Chains A and B, each alone.
Chain A
């Protein structure tokens, strides 16, 4: 029975495939069968590569490898769901927007090139909030994605499609992007592992920018080892991205194994303000898993003022950068077109942008342009930058005493569908724990903590720049204790 392939960890899949290459096709069938069964309920994908297409791709590549006599790449045959703001050559990349509904990129993002090099296949582009602006996947121009754990709820966002695809067994691993929590939020809400790497660890080349100074691509998986495996593939310096850090990729699986073998005792800070502001049930669930870590490590309470201001600073900076990054979508070179005969370009631009962008995107462009404009930039944008510098300093002080900081990933359980539109401010404020990592550039992970009223809850750990191995170590340790791994929701 090939059903077992649906929840099988990637590190096991590659063992299976290396013993018998033909198992790849059983695996492909298992995933596609699953997609056929659940996708119309979940709507995790915007674009799905047809099954036959995938067969042909795998067969053709296998043939090529055999005839050339080269070794079969390490992750050959593994299928990944890729968030639809990551550029894929020849596969339409919509960014969840009407304005790019029919845009087929002529090039691959650096992370895609890296994945292809190790034999990973993209079988679908996952749903997301339009231009990653949102935290429920409801601002997608196409349809909202539903949470596999409760179809009336959001899977979080903006990488909600990736999280839901993993939780529903429609993908083995997935890529997300995280600007203010967009990987960790859906990871927490769908019971999967998600890591926002240190800013600059993973190349942004080919990631359609939302807020360039905070955007990071990151791995999502159903267990820590797969997360480490995927991070090893996608990380490392990229000369095409000037913000990419000048460091080579390391083998995070090996680093994780080393840590697990040595099991060093670390100091973990418990982020007081972020627990205090959380929903009771969430608080209880997260404390529970924190206790599991604290029974081994040293835990101390830490406090950081101005946490609430972080959300304001985050939104100001993100919107400012977004208003600039989204200026290029004008329908002239690519994307949504309109008739141009006898019209001047101002009219054409206006129509394309009016029709092509959704409400949330327009709102953020308008606010972003406002905070950057003369007379207001000092009051908003410059102040937000000043706050960001201060936050970094404070965080630096905190990490002089601890190796990691724990908090709930999200202070509230997964929102009901529609809740975001009723009270957007409440949903914005729920980003309080996640935005700190983006403002500071620090790495952070969301780890399944447990269920609360049958809804997934995540624990967030943040660490010092380039301490991804520490986060993976603590995640694996907790995973061993909670056994919350390789779980597929009943759909």
Chain B
């Protein structure tokens, strides 16, 4: 059964200082409710919207980064529906239909999955205003009353809609990671801010009805919600049932999707061009200006990193999708030339622990030279790889001085041959069977090496250990002859 997943993503342009249609402060988070408001974003009678030009520039930048065709005009429409979080009871948005057009269309994002590249198509990008926010006491069903905060009302949003090009929840997650990286490189949104990046998903099994899942709170949950929904749909199909076209709600706590009231008819939003906002012409000058100010984007950086450091696409992609990690890598690469080794340690242990400790990369105290030092000690044979792995979480947490740390904890590699010989003899005594095996099959030597390592807590020099064991085995063979 072929799975088709399309996503609809709402991105707040959090880099803007003011809202989309008024000069009200856009940093509404952690403020008292209904403080960041003015007659315009409250929809007071007589107020009029004026487009924030910077928002249009940002939208063009995003459109360009997503390889979209940019329209020559920005046309705003009114989308009508009554809801208490919508102060005008219409949303100023854009629409793709006869007479109207979104700011951008027909783009794509390249993702890297299972060793291959794939394009996920972008259908369109809309510029629109965010509604206010409703707070319930408990759940929506049991709340005795609702509270409305209009601080968010009028915040600039981009609605990015993909084609149903993703075939699995994993692919959707990889797509979102890439999209977030692109937006982060552009610097238009801080996706760490609550509610700044919101995802709705359309999921269907090819040939069956399409289900929309709304209210997916976090990117982590996208994969979960999609997985749940696919299993649910597959079960219905297997039982010969019908998947009805509906909108479902992701219940984060229970980890399930639940049906919203099924719509009996397509909602009529009565779109029409907003007469308060004449179309804004997008000149090629304006586009060129935006393009010339574009920073290096993930795909370009991946390509450059592959070339400049002779890395493969897999490693480069992981680095680049975590912008801070790529920055960290390039900083380290200035003083350490085994790029592959540096990349490997960063995308494995280093990244793992940073994520494990949920450290905000911006507040990371460890510096690239520390990791480089670690690698150099490894190269010199002062530290074993096992030691490095053990040290990693500790230095990420504390950024301690490695030299002192090594001295303090006795973390030095054992390369005293006599010492190693004694350990080897001990091991031989304890494992006569293994010694016999090793005499017959040279491959079985690894067991003995492992035993030595265990006894020395990994501190014995692996190369010397191996040589010593091989020598001793040869001696035994000779004496047996």
B45 touches A324 (CB 8 A): no
The 8 A CB mask of B75-110 against A (1 = contact, 0 = none) is 000101011100111100000000100000000000
Q: Is B49 an interface residue (CB 8 A)?
A: yes
* Complexed CA–CA distance, A448 and B145 (Å): 58
Q: Name the CB-closest residue of B to A344.
A: B146
A95 touches B276 (CB 8 A): no
Contact size class for A?
A: 35 or more
* Complexed CA–CA distance, A332 and B82 (Å): 12
CB-CB < 8 A to A320: which residues of B?
A: 272
Q: Name the CB-closest residue of B to A100.
A: B45
Q: Is B291 an interface residue (CB 8 A)?
A: no
The answer to whether residues A327 and B48 also contact, given A213-B275, A332-B148, A373-B268 and a CB cut-off of 8 A, is no
Which segment, of A40-48, A104-112, A277-285, faces chain B? Answer: A104-112
B270 touches A105 (CB 8 A): no
A373 touches B270 (CB 8 A): yes
CB-CB < 8 A to A243: which residues of B?
A: 48, 275-276, 278
* Complexed CA–CA distance, A22 and B99 (Å): 60
A324 touches B78 (CB 8 A): yes
Q: Is B439 an interface residue (CB 8 A)?
A: no
* Complexed CA–CA distance, A465 and B149 (Å): 43
The answer to whether residues A324 and B46 also contact, given A243-B275, A330-B82, A332-B148 and a CB cut-off of 8 A, is no
Most buried by A among B44, B45, B145: B45
Tell me the count of chain B residues lying within 8 A, CB to CB, of chain A.
34
Q: How far is the CB of B73 from chain A (nearest CB, A)?
A: 14
Q: How far is the CB of A450 from chain B (nearest CB, A)?
A: 37
A208 touches B48 (CB 8 A): no
B45 touches A93 (CB 8 A): yes
Q: Is A223 an interface residue (CB 8 A)?
A: no
The answer to whether residues A333 and B47 also contact, given A242-B277, A327-B89, A369-B270 and a CB cut-off of 8 A, is no
The 8 A CB mask of A104-146 against B (1 = contact, 0 = none) is 0111010000000000000000000000000000000000000
CB-CB < 8 A to A103: which residues of B?
A: 45
The answer to whether residues A333 and B46 also contact, given A213-B275, A327-B82, A328-B87 and a CB cut-off of 8 A, is no
Per DSSP, chain A at the interface is loop
The answer to whether residues A109 and B50 also contact, given A212-B275, A243-B278 and a CB cut-off of 8 A, is no
Within 8 A of B (CB), among A76-110: 85-87, 93, 95, 100, 103, 105-107, 109
Q: Name the CB-closest residue of A to B81.
A: A327
B46 touches A241 (CB 8 A): no
CB-CB < 8 A to B39: which residues of A?
A: 105-107
The 8 A CB mask of A365-404 against B (1 = contact, 0 = none) is 0000100111001000110000000000000000000000
Q: Is B167 an interface residue (CB 8 A)?
A: no
Q: Is A256 an interface residue (CB 8 A)?
A: no
* Complexed CA–CA distance, A182 and B271 (Å): 27
Q: Is B450 an interface residue (CB 8 A)?
A: no
* Complexed CA–CA distance, A349 and B90 (Å): 14
Q: Is B462 an interface residue (CB 8 A)?
A: no
Which segment, of A199-207, A259-267, A299-307, A413-421, faces chain B? Answer: A199-207
* Complexed CA–CA distance, A333 and B86 (Å): 11
* Complexed CA–CA distance, A104 and B43 (Å): 15
B46 touches A87 (CB 8 A): yes
* Complexed CA–CA distance, A187 and B273 (Å): 32
Q: How far is the CB of B82 from chain A (nearest CB, A)?
A: 6
Within 8 A of B (CB), among A307-339: 320-321, 323-324, 327-330, 332-334
Number of A-B contacts (CB under 8 A): 105
A333 touches B87 (CB 8 A): yes
B46 touches A206 (CB 8 A): yes
Residue from B44, B83, B146, B277 in contact with A334 in the complex, judged by beta carbons closer than 8 Å: B44
Q: How far is the CB of A470 from chain B (nearest CB, A)?
A: 26
CB-CB < 8 A to A93: which residues of B?
A: 45-46
Q: Is A345 an interface residue (CB 8 A)?
A: yes
Q: Is A240 an interface residue (CB 8 A)?
A: yes
Q: Name the CB-closest residue of A to B83.
A: A345
* Complexed CA–CA distance, A109 and B80 (Å): 26
Q: Name the CB-closest residue of B to A205.
A: B48
Q: Is A424 an interface residue (CB 8 A)?
A: no
A212 touches B276 (CB 8 A): yes
CB-CB < 8 A to B42: which residues of A?
A: 333
B50 touches A239 (CB 8 A): yes
CB-CB < 8 A to A85: which residues of B?
A: 46
The answer to whether residues A324 and B82 also contact, given A240-B48, A240-B50 and a CB cut-off of 8 A, is no
Q: Is A472 an interface residue (CB 8 A)?
A: no
The 8 A CB mask of B1-43 against A (1 = contact, 0 = none) is 0000000000000000000000000000000000000010011
Most buried by A among B82, B83, B148, B278: B82
Q: How far is the CB of A439 from chain B (nearest CB, A)?
A: 13
CB-CB < 8 A to A447: which residues of B?
A: none
Q: Is A209 an interface residue (CB 8 A)?
A: yes
Q: Is B174 an interface residue (CB 8 A)?
A: no
* Complexed CA–CA distance, A341 and B145 (Å): 8
Q: How far is the CB of A378 from chain B (nearest CB, A)?
A: 9
The 8 A CB mask of B40-83 against A (1 = contact, 0 = none) is 00111111111100000000000000000000000000101011
The answer to whether residues A332 and B49 also contact, given A107-B44, A321-B275 and a CB cut-off of 8 A, is no
CB-CB < 8 A to A239: which residues of B?
A: 50
Within 8 A of A (CB), among B265-301: 266, 268, 270-272, 275-278
* Complexed CA–CA distance, A15 and B466 (Å): 111
B89 touches A95 (CB 8 A): no
Q: How far is the CB of B466 from chain A (nearest CB, A)?
A: 76
A328 touches B278 (CB 8 A): no
A105 touches B84 (CB 8 A): no
CB-CB < 8 A to B99: which residues of A?
A: 382
Further 12 A-B residue pairs, CB within 8 A, beyond A243-B276, A327-B82, A328-B90: A95-B45, A212-B276, A240-B48, A242-B276, A327-B80, A327-B88, A332-B148, A333-B43, A333-B44, A345-B82, A346-B82, A373-B268
Which A residues contact B (CB, under 8 angstroms)? 85-87, 93, 95, 100, 103, 105-107, 109, 204-209, 211-213, 239-243, 320-321, 323-324, 327-330, 332-334, 340-341, 345-346, 349, 369, 372-374, 377, 381-382
23 contacts between A and B (CB under 8 A): A103-B45, A106-B39, A107-B39, A204-B48, A206-B47, A208-B46, A213-B275, A239-B50, A242-B48, A242-B276, A242-B277, A320-B272, A321-B272, A324-B80, A327-B80, A330-B84, A330-B89, A333-B42, A334-B44, A340-B145, A345-B84, A374-B268, A377-B270
